[in-house]
Every structure is written in structure tokens, then in C-alpha cells.
Amino acid sequence: MIRTMPVIPEVETCIHCGLCLNQCPTYRLTHLETASPRGRIYLIEAASHGRLDVTSGVADHLYLCLACRACETACPSGVQYGRVAEAARDVLGPPGRPFQRAMVRFALRHLMPHPGRLRSVAAVIRFYQRSGLAALALRLLPRRLRRPAALLPEASTRFYTPEAEVLPAIGEPRARVAFLTGCAMSLFFAEINEATLRLLRRNGCEVVLPQNQACCGALNIHNGEVASARAMARRNVDAFPVDVDAILTNAAGCGAAMKEYGHLLGDDPDYRERAERFSTLVRDTGEFLAALGLRNSPKATDRVVTYQDPCHLAHGQGVRAQPRALLAALPGTTLREMVASDRCCGSAGIYNFLQPETSDALLAEKMEAIRATGASVVVAPNPGCMMQLRYGVRRFGVPVRVAHLMDLLDEAGA
């Protein structure tokens, strides 16, 4: 595979200072320059100036990256590495060995953009899990395939489908919002979507659930399928109303991706402006609720919780204080910070399936950090993080509940 790398202008803002190195999870594990943000930027730069062939080795280095964007937080020069990685991966195509690539590409092109097909997949997964086949598979599958099978969280009893297109506010209306139901959230965490909507409505939000919405396209963008991601973004721009106070999502990855629609569709004259508009309205539910203020006083529960910053919330959207402020509003709940709460847990979209060794090393570190807090709940408001942490809790036997922020707020009657 030898391709040419176009010049990616963002690369020029890197001044090679190296301040990002030690903040990058893959550099911390390997201590190799090629596994660092600066090294990856250098590879891209060298390739686009013809000083380096784009071999499969280069692709491997660029796909060992978690796309966690911790380097953006660290970078004094404001290099938006997320955009650099997306542009480079679009040239490289999806990651993995040929068979994996084909599978990933198939899923990204033919499943993710189609809610109907996703729903069918959900039915298959559910049948597989409930029928006992899953348990069997875990025993019979070759070792190499056992891990992905174990990673798969239990699918919700049903795929989340909204009961109506508009759900009225409960009590005095305070805001009108639109809500992205999301693919992973609908498939694996339908109850959390329900909790989120209850919570929003109790806090005076009228919620619009556009029928025609699609998955946000984040996985496609991160895995070298930008064209299909653009199609999904266009569909959402068409589907969502903009006469709302905010477009909400309870998945950090989706929020980060949708806040970038303006950039993603920046070259599309028909969509550019509407996409910009769309992006400025996007909020994480935690971010939004913290600004709106909780209306009801929550019930008290005595417990210690710890908070895992989802990468795409903390590094991608700069949302750190708001979820913590909401936790602080829960009486009896003590927040005990873990070491490096904003370091990636190794989930990173489909990374945990494709790079099991790196993913496991990060997960092991994360589990230790969680265990050390003595918390009984770890809050991680993003489906990818929740799946990974639930897998980690089972595998490392850490006695904590993995919850979404919306879960705790809804349970407390906030």
C-alpha cells in the first residue's frame, strides 16, 4: 500500500516542542517517538513532502493513536491533532489487516448510516446473547476471538425508539431542545436514553426527537471513512431543527463529532452554513444541564463516586467542570478524583477491538486508578467508555458500578 499524503495545513502549526509527548497515552506506554503526537505529525509531514513513503508501517503508527485528543489539551501551539489524524486516516482508509479492514469498512459504510439496519443487528446481538449462544461462544471460540466477544456489552432489551417526535416538558417549560438518540446509546444503553429524557423533561425541557436522524458519523470520521461521515452529517443537518435552544447528546463522542460538522462540511457550499449553525447549537447533556441549573432538589445517597473524563468530552469539548458540578449537586455524594482521570481508558471507539494489547494496558492502569479511590460508582458519560469500563470491572474484579451521569441524576429525582 503506497499512497501519497496530501499536505494537511494544520500540521504547520506544530513547532516540534515536544510538550505533548508525555501526555499521550501511547507514548507513555511505548516511549517511542513514532507513538507520540509529535512523531505522528512528523510522519504525516514527511510523507506529504515526499520524504517518506506511506507504507503500512506508517499506517500502523497512525492507527496506534487512540484519537483521544489529549495532545490537543497539552499543545501550547493549539495544534488540532484530531483533525490532522482524521485527514490522514481518510487517505489511509480503515485500519487493521485486510480482513479486519474489509469488515470495518463494510460496517462503516453499510450499517452505521442506516438506523434500520442497525436495529436488525441489535436484534441479532440480542438473540445471540439471550439464547445462550454467547456463553457458548466464550468457551468455544479460539482465544483470538474470545476477547472481542467478551467486550461486547449486553444489548438493551430493546433498541431505543422514541415514542413520539416531540416530548413535552413536565411543569413550567424552560427550554426547547433536540436530542440525538445515537447508535451505541440506542443499542446498548436504551435505559440511559430513557433516563436522560425523563431528566430533561422534569427540568422543563421540551424535547424534539427528529425521526430522520442518523448516527453522528464519529466512528466513520475516526476510521478513514470521511465520505460516508459527510453523508451522515448532511442527513442530520437536514433532520434536526435549529429553532431550538440546543441540540443535545448524552454521548461524548457524538457531541465532539457534531461540534465539528461545520468543519466537516466546510467545503460543501450547500451545507457549510447550516452545518456551522448546527455545530454551535450542540451541547453535551451534562454541559447543558449544568448551565440550565437543576430544578428539583435531588434525593440524598451516601456514597463515594469517581469521575472518568471521557476523552471527547474533556479534550474534545473542554467539558470538565460541568459534570463535576452536577455530581456536587447530589447530596451525600462525595466525588473522589482518580489519578489521571482524563487519560484514555483504552476504549476509543473500535480501538479496543483492533488494538487489544494497547487497549488492555490502558484499561489495567485505569482500573487500578479507580480501585485506589475506593469509590462505589464510576461515572463515565459516554457509551464507549462505559462498555470498556464494564468489561474492565468484570475482568479485573473491581467492585464498582459503571454509571452514566444521567443515570445518577435521574435516580436522584433531580
Partner 1 sequence: MTLAPLIRRLQAIVGNAYALHRPEDLIVYEQDALMVSRHKPDLVVLPDTTQQVSEVVRAVRELGLPIVPRGAGTGLAGGAIPERGGVVVALTRMTRVHDIDPISKTAVVEAGLVNADLTAMLEPYGLFFAPDPGSQVAATIGGNVANNAGGPHCLAYGVTSNHVLGLEVVLADGTVTWVGSRALDEPGYDLTGILVGSEGTFGIVTKAIVRLLARREAVRTLLAIYDTMDAACEAASAVIASGIVPEALEIIDGMSMRAVNKTLQAGFPEDAEAALLIEVEGLAESVPVLIERIEAICHRQGARRIQTAATAQDRMGLWKGRKHAYGALGKLARRAIMLDVCAPRSHLARIMRQITEAGTRLNIQVANFFHAGDGNLHPNLLFEFDDNSPEYARVVATTEDIMWACIAVGGTITGEHGLGMEKREYLGWMNSDADIAAMKRVRDAFDPDGAMNPDKVFPTGRPVHGTIPSVRAAGGADR
| Nearest-approach distance from CB 380 to partner 1, in angstroms | 24
Strands 205-208 and 166-167: antiparallel
Q: Integer distance in angstroms from the first to the last C-alpha of the chain?
A: 54
Task: Please report whether residue 138 would count as binding ligand FAD according to CB under 6 A.
Answer: no
Task: Please report whether residue 44 would count as binding ligand SF4 according to CB under 6 A.
Answer: no
Q: How far is CA 348 from CA 92, 230, 312, 382, 396, in A?
A: 18, 20, 9, 11, 19
DSSP 8-state code for residue 337:
P
Task: Please report whether residue 133 would count as binding ligand FAD according to CB under 6 A.
Answer: no
Task: Please report whether residue 194 would count as binding partner 1 according to CB under 8 A.
Answer: no
Q: Give the footprint of partner 1 on residues 6-35 (CB under 8 A).
A: 12-23, 30-34
By CB under 6 A, which span of 14-22, 98-106, 147-155, 349-357 interacts with ligand FAD?
14-22
Residue 39 CA to residue 64 CA, distance in Å, equals 12
- Strand-pair partners of 119: none
| Nearest-approach distance from CB 317 to ligand FAD, in angstroms | 26
Nearest C-alpha neighbor of 383 from the set 282, 258, 286, 253: 253
How many secondary structure helices (H) and strands (E) does the chain include? Answer: 23, 9
Of 5, 14, 195, 400, the residue at the interface with ligand SF4 (CB under 6 A) is 14
Of 9, 16, 168, 241, the residue at the interface with ligand SF4 (CB under 6 A) is 16
Select from partner 1, ligand FAD, ligand SF4, none the partner in contact with residue 387, using the beta carbon and a kind-dependent cut-off of 5 to 8 Å.
none
Burial class (CB in 10 A: 0-12, 13-18, 19+), 61: buried
Task: Please report whether residue 355 would count as binding partner 1 according to CB under 8 A.
Answer: no
What the block records as the C-alpha cell of 62 is 497512525
Residue 41 CA to residue 30 CA, distance in Å, equals 17
Complex with ligand FAD: residue 15 or 136, whichever CB lies closer: 15
Q: Give the footprint of ligand SF4 on residues 48-107 (CB under 6 A).
A: 65-71, 74-75, 77, 79, 81
| Nearest-approach distance from CB 228 to ligand SF4, in angstroms | 22
Q: Give the footprint of ligand SF4 on residues 295-354 (CB under 6 A).
A: none
What phi and psi, each to the nearest 5 degrees, are found at residue 113? -70, -5
Residue 262 CA to residue 80 CA, distance in Å, equals 15
Conformation bin of residue 5: beta by default, left when phi > 0, alpha when psi is -120 to 50: beta
By CB under 8 A, the count of residues binding partner 1 is: 35
Select from partner 1, ligand SF4, ligand FAD, none the partner in contact with residue 67, using the beta carbon and a kind-dependent cut-off of 5 to 8 Å.
ligand SF4
What the block records as the C-alpha cell of 104 is 470495518
| Nearest-approach distance from CB 12 to ligand FAD, in angstroms | 17
Task: Please report whether residue 32 would count as binding ligand FAD according to CB under 6 A.
Answer: no
Residue nearest ligand FAD by beta-carbon distance: 17
Complex with ligand SF4: residue 187 or 226, whichever CB lies closer: 226
DSSP 8-state code for residue 375:
-
Burial 186-199 (b: 16+ CB within 10 A, else e): bbbbbbbbbbbbbb
Residue 84 CA to residue 38 CA, distance in Å, equals 12
By CB under 8 A, which span of 43-51, 261-269, 295-303, 377-385 interacts with partner 1?
43-51
Q: How far is CA 157 from CA 123, 215, 371, in A?
A: 9, 20, 30
Select from ligand FAD, partner 1, ligand SF4, none the partner in contact with residue 46, using the beta carbon and a kind-dependent cut-off of 5 to 8 Å.
partner 1
Task: Please report whether residue 17 would count as binding ligand FAD according to CB under 6 A.
Answer: yes
| Nearest-approach distance from CB 19 to ligand FAD, in angstroms | 6
Contact positions vs ligand SF4 (CB under 6 A): 14-20, 24-26, 37-38, 40-41, 65-71, 74-75, 77, 79, 81
Contact positions vs ligand FAD (CB under 6 A): 17-19
